[in-house]
Structure 1
Amino acid sequence: MTVFRVLLRMRVRPGSGPAFERDWRAGATRIATRPASVGQWLARGTDEEEVYYVVSDWTDEASFREYERSEAHQQHLRRLRPYRMDGSMSTMDIVVAVTA
């Protein structure tokens, strides 16, 4: 199976972690209903305070880019923007996956 992965690193405003997590979960639940969405994960960093990582897997890059341009994505961004101090995005194709 081919997987296109998006990795986001976000630093949120001090003290806003629980609200960010709640709102992220609400959006991710909606994203998961999209046919090309493989899965969404949210992780809290242990090395830096207020840093979160989002992993978003898609069947292919074109489907992710289509979602990225959608109004649903824009609404999700607007909901999370007040929490965000900075962030970065990396995209990649999964080449090898070894699972238990």
Structure 2
Amino acid sequence: MSESTAFRVMLRMQIKPGMEQDFERVWLEVGDSVTSHPANLGQWLSRSDEEGVYYIVSDWVSEPLFREFETSDRHLQHRQQLHPYRSGGSMTTMHVVAHLRGDGADVTHREWEAAR
């Protein structure tokens, strides 16, 4: 399936004050429970300029396969591990209709961090 037909999920998470670093650490520790799912194409954690707000973007092969994951025990356990840090949030879903690959797309996160 091409990237242009991916199903994208974007979560906005409000994290309790003072818990941001712990949230980031736990998100990284438990992330493979999402990314190891065969229908997951990857996920990103972004910290907003707005105090305590994070965005999580996750791409999936299809909406039905994401919905299957969303109701699974694996997802419930993942959510339970992150729930203590949350004070609120929302979810938006969408279908990717186009993707333009940038020149830096093949740079890994570790390579990018080392270059900073």
TM-score, length-scaled by structure 2: 0.82
What is residue 54 of structure 2 aligned with on the other side?
52
Count, aligned residues: 99
Separation in structure 1 between the aligned mates of residue 67 and residue 30 of structure 2, nearest angstrom = 17
In 1, are the aligned partners of 2:33 and 2:75 still within 8 Å (CA)? Answer: no
Q: Tell me how far 1:80 sits from its aligned partner.
A: 0.8
Q: Tell me how far 1:27 sits from its aligned partner.
A: 2.0
Structure with greater strand share of residues: 1
TM-score, length-scaled by structure 1: 0.95
Q: Deviation above 4 Å: which 4+ runs of structure 1?
A: none
What is residue 77 of structure 1 aligned with on the other side?
79
Q: Larger Cα Rg: Structure 1 or Structure 2?
A: 2
What is residue 25 of structure 2 aligned with on the other side?
22
Question: What is the root-mean-square deviation of aligned Cα atoms in Å?
Answer: 0.8
Structure with greater helix share of residues: 2
Q: Tell me how far 1:87 sits from its aligned partner.
A: 0.3
In 1, are the aligned partners of 2:15 and 2:86 still within 8 Å (CA)? Answer: yes
What is residue 89 of structure 2 aligned with on the other side?
87
